[in-house]
Structure 1
Amino acid sequence: MPDRPITSHDVARLAGVSQSAVSRAFTPGASISAALHAKVKEAAARLGYQPNLLPRMMVQGRSGIVAVVIGGAYNPFHAATLEAFSRAIQTAGKRIMLVQAENDRALDEMVGELIGYRIDGVVSALSILSQEAADAISAHRIPVVTLNSGIITDYIHVVEIDNTSAGRAAADLMISRGATRLAYIGADSIASRARQAGFCAAVEDAGLPAALCLPGSLDHDGGLAAGREMLAAAVRPDGIFCVNDLTAIGVIDAFRLEGGLTIPGDAQIVGFDNIPASRWPGYNLTTIDQNVGRMAECAVERLDAASSDGSGQAICVDFTLLERGTTFP
């Protein structure tokens, strides 16, 4: 074994073939006979050879790498999103670069840094919050697919559910179960605002008092704080829709542990995301499933198409309302 990195020339000498044959054996789709391919791979395995992808990246201008951007690890939905993205990217024959960011501004900076790696594109579970940030990201001319951001440019594509209809579905369900004092706990995102709009419209259409809208922080603490605020209110809501499941679980804990209330006897609660904890017997949370697996597949498919059609698109995926014990005893 030479005291240096093994090269394709070493493999060629051991296999008794040309260096170009070794190159073809490690190039997907290249013309090479099955017997010659097997001979080269056997020699490479004996030597422990792995091809250097950098020269091919320089020639083709593409690395086969997709950057996956996710938010904070505190939210199990981000873990589910990462798993779905990873599966879809690997199925497409590409490689993954994992990046963590907290907001649209961090995403802007990261896209600029990732250009040096010649990535094929970016898929992000984070929303882009502003047109200004979208324009800054687009200036890098790298295809980006986001989930539920709502902002589209020539280089930014969106895979989303109909968040307005999801909000309406949550309100309609609780109203049909007898709720008359509705509330929404949201967050600072385009998707959350759309859910709020649908929710409030359904409440208005039902002829009920306007829904109470409270800010949240997408985590358990935000739900706990909102729950305490509702417990202290003169008129306590009896139907609560939350921007995500962690928020809903925080509300449930506040109502049960600090308010001595029962769910759904004293208040119905609907979450969003269908994280594993939503199915735990202690919560059994009614929630809206975004079908993140299908969203990830569409995101990767959109990245491949983006390199040829040069225009941003929005793809809508169906959601599912899963009724459990927080709305139906």
Structure 2
Amino acid sequence: MNRKIFVSAKEVAHRAGVSRSAVSRTFTPGASVSEETRRRVVEAAEALGYHVNHLARGLMRNESGIVCLIVSELDTPYRASLIRALTRQLQSASKVAMLINTDRSDNSVDQALRQAISYRADASIILSGMPDKSITELCVKSGQRLVLINRDEQRDGALRINLHDREAARRAFIAFLRAGCRSFAFANSDVGTPSLMAREEGFRAAGREHGFEITIERYGPTRYQSGVVLAQRLLTREARPDAIFCANDLLACGLMDTARHQFRLTVPDDLCIIGFDDIEQSSWSSYNLTTFSQPVDRIAEEAVSWLAQPILSDENSCKLEAQLVWRGSVRGG
């Protein structure tokens, strides 16, 4: 079976009895073309199965419309929701998303990004703090525009989107304090991304401001199973905490299950827990987790709208607020 050859604009023009430029104007938003010509071109295009070659058209303007999404932990609930929001916004802006998975530690990420650059990707959006800074260097050297989400590096001509993580951590501490808690811990992973460390440092600073030392425990990836281990470490201490702020909801879910089923603690009477991200599972009745909601739709809107603007030489930054979602894992919530 022979591979079908794409129908050309020239063939559409011949069938419709119009010029090649008339076909181009018909499929160019805002271009001038008579209604009769438009009708004939559209009918011919539908009969032949013609589709506009946006890649070729874009390359003539030195644009491909391709935006790379450079992602780690893409199978986690929060990351999946952010990818969903970004791809929806990109599609609405007539852009094409190309996904690059950065979970592997070898040079596969570098190779994948170089491949994307060879397709003339216009921009890259880096969705986490995990990829090495050399990745951003490669993007910049290739002439791509760059959006950095939850990263701390300075980069001229790039947009940085971050949350007020320290302020959220302070609010978490105050919530625990008002619930009558007096022994505080922070459960973190070993990943050490800027956003996770900002939450840890903000929670520790809020504790010291009110005369309390915060117990810090870190372990493994930012996953459910790490929350299990963190619970075992924190809840076997001689001075067991009665309030734990978790770096994200997956850690909180693992920690909560272990606290209830292995240590027979009641949440929130014996132990108050706050998470971060507001993933779908946090609202399930089995968790009913008080948490901070990341504004994923707003993050996506800011990223894509900035890419549509003229290139600016200075670094641009956007700070967004995570909203506290009260549920039942904190007394009084």
- Using the size of structure 2 for normalisation, the TM-score is 0.90
Give aligned-pair identity as a percent: 32
How far 1:195 moved relative to its partner?
0.8
Q: 1:325 aligns with which of 320, 323, 328?
A: 328
How far 1:24 moved relative to its partner?
1.7
Cα offsets for 1:200-258 (capped at 9, x unmatched): 11111111233334335210011011001112211111111111100000000110111
Give 1:67-106 correspondences, 5 Å limit.
Answer: 67-102=68-103
Q: 1:231 aligns with which of 215, 228, 235?
A: 235
Distance in 2 between residues matched to 1:318 and 1:281, nearest whole Å: 26
Kindly indicate whether residue 11 of structure 2 is the aligned counterpart of residue 10 of structure 1: yes
Q: 2:319 aligns with which of 300, 316, 319?
A: 316
Kindly indicate whether residue 213 of structure 2 is the aligned counterpart of residue 212 of structure 1: no
Identify the residue that residue 179 of structure 2 maps to in structure 1.
177
Distance in 1 between residues matched to 2:133 and 2:6, nearest whole Å: 48
Q: 2:293 aligns with which of 282, 289, 296?
A: 289
Cα offsets for 1:278-300 (capped at 9, x unmatched): 00000000110111110110011
Cα offsets for 1:85-131 (capped at 9, x unmatched): 01211222222222322279865554333111111211232225665
Give 1:157-168 correspondences, 5 Å limit.
Answer: 157-168=159-170
Residues 287, 308 of structure 1: alpha-carbon distance in 2 compared, 3 angstrom cutoff: same
Distance in 2 between residues matched to 1:106 and 1:199, nearest whole Å: 36
Distance in 1 between residues matched to 2:78 and 2:181, nearest whole Å: 28
Identify the residue that residue 126 of structure 1 maps to in structure 2.
128
Which residue type is aligned with residue 237 of structure 2?
A: A
Residues 210, 53 of structure 1: alpha-carbon distance in 2 compared, 3 angstrom cutoff: closer
Q: Conserved in 2, the CA contact under 8 Å of 1:216 and 1:247?
A: no
Which residue type is aligned with residue 94 of structure 1?
A: K
Identify the residue that residue 248 of structure 1 maps to in structure 2.
252
Which residue type is aligned with residue 290 of structure 1?
A: Q
Q: Conserved in 2, the CA contact under 8 Å of 1:71 and 1:101?
A: yes
Identify the residue that residue 37 of structure 1 maps to in structure 2.
38
Distance in 2 between residues matched to 1:199 and 1:71, nearest whole Å: 25
SS at structure 2 position matched to 1:13: helix
Cα offsets for 1:130-163 (capped at 9, x unmatched): 6555445433331121211122202432111111
Residues 293, 57 of structure 1: alpha-carbon distance in 2 compared, 3 angstrom cutoff: same
SS at structure 1 position matched to 2:67: strand
Cα offsets for 1:58-99 (capped at 9, x unmatched): 311101122223322431111101111012112222222223
Identify the residue that residue 147 of structure 2 maps to in structure 1.
145
SS at structure 1 position matched to 2:329: coil
Distance in 1 between residues matched to 2:61 and 2:240, nearest whole Å: 62
SS at structure 2 position matched to 1:240: strand
How far 1:259 moved relative to its partner?
0.5
Distance in 2 between residues matched to 1:71 and 1:249, nearest whole Å: 20
Identify the residue that residue 278 of structure 1 maps to in structure 2.
282
Cα offsets for 1:258-282 (capped at 9, x unmatched): 1011111111111111000000000
* Structural RMSD (CA): 2.2
Distance in 1 between residues matched to 2:119 and 2:308, nearest whole Å: 18
How far 1:32 moved relative to its partner?
2.1
Distance in 2 between residues matched to 1:240 and 1:253, nearest whole Å: 13
Kindly indicate whether residue 223 of structure 2 is the aligned counterpart of residue 222 of structure 1: no
- The size of the alignment, in residue pairs, is 326
Q: Conserved in 2, the CA contact under 8 Å of 1:287 and 1:321?
A: yes
Which residue type is aligned with residue 265 of structure 1?
A: D
Q: Conserved in 1, the CA contact under 8 Å of 2:219 and 2:229?
A: no
Which residue type is aligned with residue 37 of structure 1?
A: R
Greater shift in the superposed pair: 307-316 or 78-87: 307-316
How far 1:164 moved relative to its partner?
1.0
Distance in 1 between residues matched to 2:311 and 2:290, nearest whole Å: 41
SS at structure 2 position matched to 1:295: helix
Which residue type is aligned with residue 311 of structure 2?
A: S
SS at structure 2 position matched to 1:283: coil
Distance in 1 between residues matched to 2:71 and 2:136, nearest whole Å: 17
How far 1:303 moved relative to its partner?
1.9
Q: 2:302 aligns with which of 295, 298, 301?
A: 298
